[in-house]
Structure 1
Amino acid sequence: MKQFIKYFRVSTRRQGDSGLGLAAQERDIDLYLSTYAETPWEVIGEFTDVQSGNDSDRPELQKAMALAEKTGAVLLVAKLDRLSRKVSFISTLMDRKKLNMTVASFPTADKFMLHIYAALAEQEREFISLRTKQALAPLKGTGKLGGNRGNIDRANAAARKVADDHAAKVIDTIAPLKEAGLTLQQIADTLNKSGVLTSRGGQWHPTTVSNILKRA
């Protein structure tokens, strides 16, 4: 019988207490188990960390990996960034020969492919950060962006430029999905599962998809 160990991560205690974030991860994991997992299967453990994805010292993840290596079970996570947002940390997991793991949103990906996905996601985050800094650079003459009407207007213009540039980048992905009849929520789910980030480096929601379509 195929055995799995579920691992969840949320960034804040509020998310952990309220279930925000956890519910979406549980949904994706359950979808994988019901659609892709070999039958019969069983879940032999669940672990949850309430920590940033940039924090590599996560006790519950260490427990989950240790149990997976001991039993031969598969460590199952909803998305790659639930393990880490650092490609260097993902690389260390790939080197653990006894660790078998699966990412629900990439159900057929092997370790090598997951490593590539992690590297691409990290590059995109770095690019978004750099682009935002360059857009705001002209506003730093006084050491802060606020203070008077002119600075506020320039800050708003810079933010709009970042949003417009990002909309132009992702509209070729979003438009065909909309034309195919997908709802805004379905489009948002597709983008999130594919590792595509919003202009602010966050997750997609129906409203953010709608905003992109309006800008386009």
Structure 2
Amino acid sequence: MRVIAYIRVSTEKQLDGYGLDVQRDAVRAWARTNGHRLVLIFTEEGVSGKLEERPALAEALRALKDGQADGIVVPKLDRLARDLVVQEQLIAEVWRMGATVFSAVASEADYLVDDPADPSRKLIRQVLGAVSEYERAMIALRLRSGRARKAASGGYAYGAPAYGQKAVDKELTEDTREQDALARMIELADDGKSLREICAELEKEGHRPKRGDRWHPTTVNRCLTRARAAA
């Protein structure tokens, strides 16, 4: 079967540690083991699980709708969504296309098929989704608490600065190198370059993302959106 993969990281820890590379390896190994042909990998870098903030997921769903693949695999079900309602909506949407949802985690595989003769499959999948949603809420609570403590001590308290900025002595200031890259992004976009073409040009010219070595279309799109909103 032809399958596409969707991988996602949402935190700096994931970007620096066990994130994208581990997820790519997981879906590739799953495809080899199960005899499927992995035709595309859609990558969402440093974004939350909110649907409106995930352009790569929208691209993956369009690829399924256009018949480029017969199924979609995620390294783990919570990469698809950490919200139970969103999880079930996405799975149902893929099924309506006549496609299949897979997880590279063997213990999750049986729960991605609704079997009228075994309703426990759907129940367990939804319980797992509810647990993921709870974990996301607890992470958000810890972040808010940490930011409140940092703000009370007079420090910058709102997570990693956006591309083009950096925190110096507890204050936000412009990052000259990143501002140059932002200006180049806007110039290339105004020239009609696609997101992938902009990524290639930035790497060719030596402009680096805030984390990692490679630019991704999702990252460029987010930078452009923020830059234009601030203009």
TM-score, with structure 1 as normaliser? 0.50
The TM-score, its normalising length taken from structure 2, stands at: 0.47
